[in-house]
């Protein structure tokens, strides 16, 4: 039995997220497992690093799977890409040590959020960005972003579905860049709670719109009250960009 690491890209627009929720559910994990089950001739379960929400995309999701098949890594990759839907692609299959675990061995994750910040829609990026018509104050957003960096209890920026033992997470970097009509928000950390990135982005958008002051973020974090956060950014703008091990 070999352990393989899969690097996966997907357009999450028509899926209910990464995690398989039950038989017949339209999820990324479910689609990949169905193809691998046909390949192996027995039920196969894969372990994904990040349980992305419904509608969220990925440039480099990582999963691992244990298989007993007489195929090379390239042949497994080709089989997957032959039978997976066109909005899911496996870019690499690599043989890894038996103890490698996609979720527990991850040290750092990076998400990229895309905002289209013009007074007209972008028909080519409407499925991959959030449209905010009013011009955002990037200077204030960058100021506010600094309050998220470091180790904090992110209960206020979680969802009631978050069932983690601890709500403490460490944000290593949060960068905001404006280019060609887009605002790119890139956030890296040792882990993220359910809806955490989208809630953080929502707060930054509210700061950019002048609806709340940048200085309010430490107060919101300290409150640990989910009702203190307002806007949750749309899932279409969120992309899992990379994972470090």
Task: Supply the residues annotated as catalytic.
Answer: 53
| Contacts made by residues 172-178, CB under 8 angstroms, sequence distance 24+ | 172/108, 173/149, 174/145, 174/146, 174/148, 174/149, 174/200, 175/145, 176/138, 176/141, 176/142, 176/145, 176/204, 178/117, 178/138
- The encoded tokens of residue 46 equal 């894969």
Q: Which residues pair with 169 in a beta bridge?
A: 152
Task: Please give the biggest Cα pair distance in the chain.
Answer: 60
> H or E segment at 31?
helix 28-40
Q: How many CB atoms lie within 10 A of CB 210?
A: 11
Task: Give all strands (DSSP E) within 44-107, no chain letters.
Answer: 47-48, 57-67, 88-96
């Amino acid at each position: 039995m070999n352990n393989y690491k899969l690097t996966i890209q997907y357009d999450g627009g028509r899926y209910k997220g990464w995690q398989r929720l039950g038989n017949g559910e339209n999820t990324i994990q479910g689609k990949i497992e169905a193809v691998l089950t046909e390949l192996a001739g027995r039920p196969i379960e894969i372990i994904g690093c990040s349980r992305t929400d419904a509608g969220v995309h990925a440039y480099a999701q990582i999963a691992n799977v244990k298989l007993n098949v007489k195929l090379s890594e390239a042949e497994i990759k080709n089989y997957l890409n032959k039978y997976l839907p066109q909005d899911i692609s496996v870019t690499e299959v690599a043989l890894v040590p038996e103890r490698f675990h996609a979720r527990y061995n991850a040290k750092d994750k990076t998400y990229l959020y895309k905002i289209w910040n013009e007074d007209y829609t972008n028909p080519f990026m409407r499925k991959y960005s959030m449209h905010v018509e009013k011009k955002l104050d990037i200077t204030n957003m960058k100021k506010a972003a600094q309050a998220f960096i470091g180790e904090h209890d992110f209960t206020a920026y979680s969802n009631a579905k978050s069932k983690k033992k601890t709500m403490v997470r460490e944000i290593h970097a949060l960068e905001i860049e404006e280019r060609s009509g887009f605002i790119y928000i890139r956030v890296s950390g040792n882990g993220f709670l359910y809806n955490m990135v989208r809630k953080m982005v929502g707060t930054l958008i509210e700061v950019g719109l002048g609806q709340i002051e940048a200085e309010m973020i430490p107060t919101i974090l300290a409150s640990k009250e989910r009702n203190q956060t307002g806007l949750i950014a749309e899932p279409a703008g969120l992309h899992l960009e990379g994972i470090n091990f």
